[in-house]
Amino acid sequence: MYSTHQFIAECYFASRPEMCPYPFQLKTTTTVACSRSFQEDRIWLNGKEEDINQPRLQSCLREIRRLARKRRSDGEGGVDLAGLSHKVHICSVNNFPTAAGLASSAAGYACLVYTLARVMGVEGELSAVARQGSGSACRSMYGGFVQWIMGQREDGKDSVAQQVEPETHWPELRILVLVVSAERKPVGSTSGMQTSVETSSLLKHRSDSVVPARMKEMIDAVHRKDFAAFAELTMKDSNQFHAICLDTYPPIFYLNDVSRHIINLVHHYNQHYREARVAYTFDAGPNAVIYTLQQHVDEFLQVVKHFFPPETNGGQFVKGLPVASTTLTEELRQAIGMEPMVKGISYIISTKAGPGPCIVEEPSQHLLGSDGLPKESA
Amino acid sequence: MYSTHQFIAECYFASRPEMCPYPFQLKTTTTVACSRSFQEDRIWLNGKEEDINQPRLQSCLREIRRLARKRRSDGEGGVDLAGLSHKVHICSVNNFPTAAGLASSAAGYACLVYTLARVMGVEGELSAVARQGSGSACRSMYGGFVQWIMGQREDGKDSVAQQVEPETHWPELRILVLVVSAERKPVGSTSGMQTSVETSSLLKHRSDSVVPARMKEMIDAVHRKDFAAFAELTMKDSNQFHAICLDTYPPIFYLNDVSRHIINLVHHYNQHYREARVAYTFDAGPNAVIYTLQQHVDEFLQVVKHFFPPETNGGQFVKGLPVASTTLTEELRQAIGMEPMVKGISYIISTKAGPGPCIVEEPSQHLLGSDGLPKESA
C-alpha cells in the first residue's frame, strides 16, 4: 500500500534585491509516494534517477521527517503515521531547461519540500527548510512578489521568505524569458556564491550597504506599481550581482555575448522612449528575464525578433501567453541601431507572475505509477 | 623655415593597481614641426587629419605653451622662442590597433606632450600635463614599472606618475598581447570611467579601500620580483575593474566571449601547475595582456595556439620578440580541457617591459616632410 501526493510549484526568478514575481509558465511538477514496500529512498529528476544521498537533498528529507516526528510527539492531528517509517520515491520534472540559470534548483527544492511536507503531514513555515536545499528555494514557497529576509542568526534559521504582494497585485506586469542557451552552466550557483563570499572584496560592501537600501526601494516600487523605479532597481541589481561574480577569484561568468547584446538592446529601447519601459535581470546563467508592462509586450517582442532573428527550423519561437504581431517602425529600428544577431536566442517564454505551489488533484497527471516507479511519460 | 623634432614614446598597459611595465614592441611615433609659414595648428593621426580643437588636445597644447612662456619669462635657457608664436603640425602613428583597449590614447598623449615639450623647450615633470590628455598617459611618460599617484587635490594637479623600477629591474618578465579584435570599442574609456564615478555604488569602496592596499602589495611584489604575488594582484584587479564597469549604469562591457575564454585558459593552466605562472589583464577592450616569466613563454604560447587555432591566411600569428616552438604535452592539453575556439585571437605581440619616450634622431624616420605635411608613408 502506498500513498501518492503531487503538487506543482512554480519556478521563481531572482531579481535581486531578493524579491520578484514568479513566472507562471515555468513549472516544476513533483510527485512523492511512500510505501512500506519501498526498499530505499529514491529520486528521479527529469526522467533520470539521481543520487538520493546528495547532502542538500538529505538535509531537506531529514528536516521534514524531524518536523513530522515533532508534530506526532506534540500530538497534533493529521500526521500520516505510516509515512514516517516508510521510504519515499520522488519524481520531479521541470518544463524548462535545468541548470541554465533559470532557478531550476530553487523551483525543484521548493516543490520537493512542499510535497514532502504534505505527504508527511507537516504544516507551517517551510521556507527555512526549502532554503537548506537551495538558498533561493525559500522564495519559491510563495507566489507573487516575495522577499528573502537575510536574518541575523549565525545558523541562518531566521533567513526566510515573505510574500510582499500576491500575484494578483500587478496584473499588467509581464515577463518574457529569453532562453539563450540550454547548456549547463559551468559553475553551479551555490558553489559560485560561496567562492564569492571568500574572495570578492566588493561583496561585503554590497550586502552591508547596497542591498538593504535597494530592498526598501524595491518593496516601495512594487507597492506603488512604479514600473520605472522597479525596472531601474532590477537592472542595476542584476548588473551588480554579475559584477560580484566577476570580482570573485577565479572569476565566474554567467553572461555571454548574447546576454550583453540583450542588455544593450534594452537600454537602447528605453533610451529611445526616454523612459524605462523594459527591464532585464539575469540569474546564474546567460538567459534573460525581461519585465515589461502589458502595453509594451507586443512591440518589444517584435524588437527582439528583429534583432535576434529566430532559426527557421519550424519550432515555436514564442511559447506561453499569446502575443499579437505588430509592425516594427523604421524609426525604432534605426534608433536601436544594432546589428541583428542570428541564432542568439533559441526561444522565448511569454509569461507573468504566478502563484505559489498548488496541489495537482488529477491522478492522471501524477508522475509515479501504481508500482511506485516513474510513468513512461515522466 | 621650420624645425622638426621627433620622439617615440612606447605605449603602456595598465594593470591596475596603476602600475605596470610598458610593452616594448608597441610604439607611438610622433613628429611635431612648427613654422612661421603654418597657418594653423593641425594634427594627423594614423594617416588621417583629425580635429585639432578636441578639448583634451587643446588642454595639452595650451599647457605646454603656458609652461614655455613661463620658462622664457623666468629667463631660463634653451627655449625655442620662435616655437612660441608659431603654429604646430603634429603627425602621430601607432604600430598597433587604436581605440581597442590597448592604451593607444595614453601612448599617444604621452608621446605628444613629450614631443611638444622638446620642441618648445619645456623641461621637468610632464606627467601632469599628459594626464590632461588621457588620465593614464601620465604613466606612459616613464619606462619600466610606473605607479600613478592618486593625489589629494581637488584640481588633480598632484595626480602624477612615478617610476617604481626601471625596465631593467625584472628582465625575465615577459608580455604577450593577445589581440582579440581590432574593432573600435563601443565606449571610450574616459567617458566610461566618468559614468562609473557617477553611477557605480561599488566604485567608491574600491578606490577608498581596495586599491590603496593592493598598490602597496603590488609595489612590494615588483621590488621582490615575486611573480605569483604580482600575477594574482594583476588578475584580481583587472577583474575588479571590469566588475565596476558592469556595475555602471547603463553597464559598460569591454570583455567578450573570447576574453572570458582566455581568462579561463589562464586559470586552468595555473591550476594544472598549482602556481600562478601566467597572469592576464584587460584594459578598456577585449584584448588580453598576458604576463609570464621567460621560462614559461614558449609553452604558454603553444597552449594559446592550440586553444585559439590561428587562421591560416598566411599572416604572422606571433609578432615581436622571437619565440621557440615546443610540443604541447597531451597531459597539459587534457588538464586544460577546453574546446578550441577558432579565430578567437587574430595575432599575438610578443614583448617585454620597455623604456619611456626616446628621441628619434634619424631624419628619414620623421613623419612630416620638408613641406610640413605628412610623408606618403606616415
pLDDT of residue B42: 94
Q: What is the arithmetic mean of pLDDT over B334-363?
A: 86
Q: Residues of A at the B interface (Cβ-Cβ below 8 Å)?
A: 201-202, 205-206, 209-210, 232, 235-236, 239-240, 242-244, 246-251, 253, 256-257, 260, 263-264, 267
B210 contact residues in A (CB cutoff 8 A): 201-202
Per the CB < 8 A criterion, the answer to whether A45 and A89 are in contact is no
Write out the H or E segment, with its range, that includes residue A156.
none
pLDDT over 90 for what percent of chain B?
37
Q: Amino acid identity of B243?
A: A
Q: What is the arithmetic mean of pLDDT over B58-75?
A: 87
Angle at the Cα of B167 from the Cα atoms of B164 and B173, rounded to 5 degrees: 105
Interchain contact, A240 vs B267, CB within 8 Å: no
Tell me the range of A8-17, A335-344, B79-88 where mean pLDDT is highest. Answer: A335-344
pLDDT of residue B304: 95
A202 contact residues in B (CB cutoff 8 A): 202, 205-206, 210, 240, 243
**More confidently predicted of A12 and A357:** A357
Interchain contact, B249 vs A260, CB within 8 Å: no
Q: Amino acid identity of B343?
A: K
pLDDT at B100 > cutoff 60: no
- Each residue's pLDDT tens digit, A103-134: 567 778 888 888 888 888 888 888 888 888 77
A251 contact residues in B (CB cutoff 8 A): 239, 263
Q: Cell 544593450: give the residue.
A: A264
B246 contact residues in A (CB cutoff 8 A): 239-240, 242-243, 246
**More confidently predicted of B202 and B140:** B202
CA distance B8 to chain A (A): 36
pLDDT of residue A102: 56
- Each residue's pLDDT tens digit, A269-299: 999 999 999 999 998 889 999 999 999 999 9
Across the interface, of A242, A257, A264, the residue whose CB is closest to B246 is A242
pLDDT of residue B22: 47
Q: Residues of B at the A interface (Cβ-Cβ below 8 Å)?
A: 201-202, 205-206, 209-210, 232, 235-236, 239-240, 242-244, 246-251, 253, 256-257, 260, 263-264, 267
pLDDT at A260 > cutoff 70: yes
Across the interface, of B205, B249, B257, the residue whose CB is closest to A256 is B257
Tell me the range of A44-58, A149-163, B187-201 where mean pLDDT is highest. Answer: A44-58
pLDDT of residue A110: 85
pLDDT of residue B148: 82
B251 contact residues in A (CB cutoff 8 A): 239, 263
pLDDT at B188 > cutoff 60: no
B264 contact residues in A (CB cutoff 8 A): 250
- Phi then psi dihedrals of residue B177, to 5 deg: -100, 115
- Each residue's pLDDT tens digit, B204-236: 999 888 998 999 999 999 999 999 999 999 999
A234 contact residues in B (CB cutoff 8 A): none
Angle at the Cα of A156 from the Cα atoms of A155 and A157, rounded to 5 degrees: 95
Interchain contact, B246 vs A239, CB within 8 Å: yes
pLDDT of residue B265: 96
Interchain contact, A206 vs B210, CB within 8 Å: no
Across the interface, of A201, A206, A246, the residue whose CB is closest to B246 is A246
Q: What CA–CA distance (Å, rounded) separates B186 from B254?
A: 8
pLDDT of residue A3: 37
Contacts across the A-B interface (CB distance below 8 Å): 70
Across the interface, of A206, A260, A263, the residue whose CB is closest to B202 is A206
Selected for mutation to probe chain B from A180, A183, A205 (highest B CB count within 10 Å) is A205
| Residues composing chain A | 378
Taking the alpha carbons of B241, B142, B162, B70 in that order, is the dihedral positive or negative?
negative
Interchain contact, A247 vs B240, CB within 8 Å: yes
Residue of B nearest to A214 (CA): B201
Interchain contact, A242 vs B239, CB within 8 Å: no
pLDDT over 70 for what percent of chain B?
84
Across the interface, of A202, A235, A263, the residue whose CB is closest to B202 is A202
pLDDT of residue A10: 38
Phi-psi bin for B350: left (phi > 0), alpha (psi -120 to 50), beta? beta
- Each residue's pLDDT tens digit, B107-127: 788 888 888 888 888 888 888
Q: Which residues pair with A361 in a beta bridge?
A: none
Domain with CATH 3.30.70.890 in chain B: 173-352
Interchain contact, B249 vs A256, CB within 8 Å: no
Lowest mean pLDDT among A264-273, B5-14, B347-356: B5-14
Burial of A105 (0-12, 13-18, 19+ CB in 10 A): buried
pLDDT of residue B6: 45
Q: What CA–CA distance (Å, rounded) separates A218 from A233?
A: 7
Q: Which residues pair with B30 in a beta bridge?
A: B7, B92
- Each residue's pLDDT tens digit, B264-286: 999 999 999 999 999 999 988 89
- Each residue's pLDDT tens digit, A303-326: 999 999 987 655 688 888 888 888
Q: What is the arithmetic mean of pLDDT over A140-162?
A: 79
Q: Amino acid identity of B171?
A: P
Interchain contact, A202 vs B205, CB within 8 Å: yes
CATH architecture for segment(s) A2-167+355-365: 2-Layer Sandwich (3.30)
- Residue A358's contacts (CB-CB under 8 Å, 6 or more residues apart) are A7, A8, A9
Tell me the range of A137-146, A263-272, B313-322 where mean pLDDT is highest. Answer: A263-272
Q: What CA–CA distance (Å, rounded) separates A253 from A187?
A: 8
B236 contact residues in A (CB cutoff 8 A): 247, 249
pLDDT at B348 > cutoff 70: yes
Q: What does pLDDT average to over chain A?
A: 83
Taking the alpha carbons of A256, A259, A261, A263 in that order, is the dihedral positive or negative?
negative
Q: What CA–CA distance (Å, rounded) separates B282 from B218?
A: 17
For residue A137, what pLDDT band results from cuts at 50, 70 and 90?
A: confident
Q: What CA–CA distance (Å, rounded) separates A145 from A150?
A: 16
3-state secondary structure of A233: helix
Q: What is the arithmetic mean of pLDDT over A134-149?
A: 81
A173-352 has which fold? Alpha-Beta Plaits (3.30.70)
Strand order in the sheet with B48-50: B48-50, B42-45, B87-94, B27-35, B2-10, B358-359
pLDDT of residue B270: 97
pLDDT of residue B357: 82
Q: What is the arithmetic mean of pLDDT over B67-79?
A: 75
pLDDT over 70 for what percent of chain A?
84
Tell me the Cα Rg of chain A: 21
Interchain contact, B246 vs A249, CB within 8 Å: no
B2-166+356-365 has which fold? Ribosomal Protein S5; domain 2 (3.30.230)
Distance between first and last Cα of chain B: 22
For residue B161, what pLDDT band results from cuts at 50, 70 and 90?
A: confident
Beta strand A145-148 pairing with A161-165: antiparallel
pLDDT over 90 for what percent of chain A?
36
Q: What is the arithmetic mean of pLDDT over A15-41?
A: 70
Write out the H or E segment, with its range, that includes residue A378.
none
A205 contact residues in B (CB cutoff 8 A): 202, 205
As given in the structure block, the three cell numbers for residue A361 are 488533484
**More confidently predicted of B123 and A184:** B123
pLDDT at A237 > cutoff 70: yes
Beta strand B173-179 pairing with A42-45: unpaired
- Phi then psi dihedrals of residue A60, to 5 deg: -65, -45
Interchain contact, B209 vs A202, CB within 8 Å: no
pLDDT at B14 > cutoff 50: no
Distances (CA, A) of B342 to A108, A296, B332: 38, 40, 19
A253 contact residues in B (CB cutoff 8 A): 260, 263
Q: What does pLDDT average to over chain B?
A: 83
Give the 3-state DSSP-derived string for B148-191, with helices as H, strands as E and coil as C: ECCCCCCCCCCCCEEEEECCCCCCCEEEEEEECCCCCCCCCHHH
Domain with CATH 3.30.230.10 in chain B: 2-166+356-365
CA distance B246 to chain A (A): 6
Selected for mutation to probe chain A from B247, B254, B265 (highest A CB count within 10 Å) is B247
